[in-house]
Structure 1
């Protein structure tokens, strides 16, 4: 399994969009994504020069109904 270390937030948001999620807005440095048929709202912190933390990303991947492997395939 590949690692979730040092994934860039802008790229993470784009990959969730590839998985069918839609950006619904941004409040401060957090981008909110939603998807029809999923009750969760994903909030991704987009801090310039900082990667998304691994634990937070694992949580968001699970809420999105994806596995880490599926998400990493989108990231490539």
Structure 2
């Protein structure tokens, strides 16, 4: 399964995360519950482990 950063960012925003900072190609998102997630963007083909870790840090359920 190929994941890209746009898909992940869309799901983070849907889950209530807000973009708080952009540093180079890393976008930092924060949720009101205090969770912070950093997504490399733009990147078309994220390694599966990176994508899975982003979901885990965000507290979102991983989907295959």
Interval of TM-score (by shorter of Structure 1 and Structure 2)? 0.7 to 0.9
Say if 2:61 is the partner of 1:56: no
Q: Which runs of 5+ in 1 are unaligned?
A: none
Q: Which has the higher helix share?
A: 1
Larger Rg: 1
Contact 2:3 2:51 in 1 (8 A): no
Q: Which runs of 5+ in 2 are unaligned?
A: none
Q: With structure 2 as the length reference, what TM-score do the two structures score?
A: 0.81
Q: What displacement does 1:11 show? A: 2.2
User: Over aligned residue pairs, what C-alpha RMSD do you find?
Assistant: 1.7
